[in-house]
Amino acid sequence: TVFLPLRESGGDVHGGLWRLPVVVGEPEPDEGKAPAEERGAGLLELLAHLLSVVLAADRARVATARRSELLQLEANSDELTGLPNRRGWRTVLELEEARYAQGAGRGSVIVIDLDRLKVVNDELGHVAGDEHLQLAAVTLDAALRESDFVARLGGDEFGVLVAGPTTPEETQHLIRRIRSAFAAAGVGASIGYATYTPEGGLQRTWWRADREMYLEKRRHR
């Protein structure tokens, strides 16, 4: 019995082939030809080599795909909060827009801007400001439903895509839940929302929600 290892490019063994001895008689080989057992051993070694090459190529493909996914995730993620960033937000809006265009859903957009973050940074330092942002992100994420999508749009601003179909009343109920969670965590925020309409799509819905948020922030000031 002979074991032929299947090796990776680095030399590590990740499998192998077993060559079992012939248990029945074989005719004598023709003159000038190697015995059948030797010929079989050569073919088996060649097969083991080819399998090693195929397995190594497949592992390299999987590793490359994983690296690509990781880089894509990092490119679309906010380092401080762990939430999707503005780029990830735009990507999701584009994907959802295509789905909405086919009549597969309707939703709302909520825009949230933290109040007094600059005061926290100026009085307590940027470390405290970062912690305040992280607290807001965790609190907001916990207040949402699993089907909702939240992202940090930049600075002290967050966006929420409320999974549809939703009514304005349902969105307002979700906003009340967000306000309650923020109040319990000691986070102040101005919030605006807009319900999706086909005219202008999700991009315009986002702008309308952003405008409503700024109107509330002016009232807070």
Residue 34 burial by Cβ neighbours in a 10 Å radius (0-12, 13-18, 19+): exposed
List, in sequence order, every beta strand (DSSP E) within 85-128.
108-114
Measured distance CA(49)–CA(53) in Å, rounded: 6
β-bridge mates for residue 98, sequence order: none
The neighbour count for residue 29, using CB atoms within 10 Å, is 13
Q: Determine the angle formed by the axes of helices 126-143 and 117-124, rounding to 10 degrees.
A: 140
Distance of alpha carbon 102 from alpha carbon 70, whole angstroms? 31
Which residues are the active-site residues?
A: 156
CA separation for the pair 17, 3 (Å, rounded): 6
Which residues lie below 8 Å from residue 169, measured CB to CB, with a gap of 6+?
A: none
Query: Would strands 13-19 and 2-7 be described as parallel, antiparallel, or unpaired?
Result: antiparallel
Which residues does 23 contact at the CB level (< 8 Å), separation at least 6? none
